[in-house]
């Protein structure tokens, strides 16, 4: 019987290679899969951020963002440039019944797709009937 010198035999390097591949997979999931999408560190604005993040994900067309804001009665303000949109968003937390108001600046790319948004606390104004 003739044995080939290049026959594939399991070596000690295979388990190490498998462990390395698993470590790379887990680290990439930790970095990309569990990434938080928080746009503010202000805990009072967290519910507004969660709402906007779920309703207006990155890539949302500008007309859809404008419709979302106007259909909910959020006031639009003058924006610093044509690639952004500024709105005052008021939200009442249904668990605590505490209102929060944020000045939100939406940033768009050259194709009018949402890139990101920033939240800043804004003074709470009384609700209008």
Model pLDDT, residue 109: 96
Residue 35 and residue 86 in contact, taking contact as beta carbons nearer than 8 Å = no
Return per-residue pLDDT of the chain as tens, 129 residues.
Answer: 566 565 555 566 666 766 666 556 555 444 444 444 565 666 778 989 999 999 999 999 999 999 999 999 999 999 889 999 999 999 888 888 888 999 999 999 999 999 999 999 988 766 555
**Those residues with Cβ within 8 angstroms of residue 59's Cβ, 6 or more apart along the chain or in another chain:** 113, 114
**pTM of the predicted structure, to 2 decimals:** 0.66
DSSP assignment of 41-53, as one string? --GGGHHHHHHHH
Model pLDDT, residue 30: 45
Place of tokens 């610093």: 80
Model pLDDT, residue 114: 97
């Amino acid at each position: 019987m003739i044995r080939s010198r290049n026959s594939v035999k399991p070596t000690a390097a295979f388990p190490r290679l498998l462990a390395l591949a698993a470590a790379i997979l887990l680290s990439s999931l930790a970095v990309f899969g569990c990434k938080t999408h928080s746009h503010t560190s202000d805990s009072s604005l967290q519910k507004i951020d969660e709402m906007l993040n779920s309703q207006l994900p990155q890539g949302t067309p500008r007309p859809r963002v404008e419709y979302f804001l106007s259909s909910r009665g959020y006031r639009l303000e003058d924006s610093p440039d044509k690639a952004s949109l500024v709105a005052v968003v008021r939200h009442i937390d249904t668990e605590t019944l505490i209102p929060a108001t944020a000045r939100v600046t939406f940033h768009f790319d050259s194709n009018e797709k949402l890139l990101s948004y920033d939240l800043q606390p804004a003074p709470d104004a009384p609700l209008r009937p």
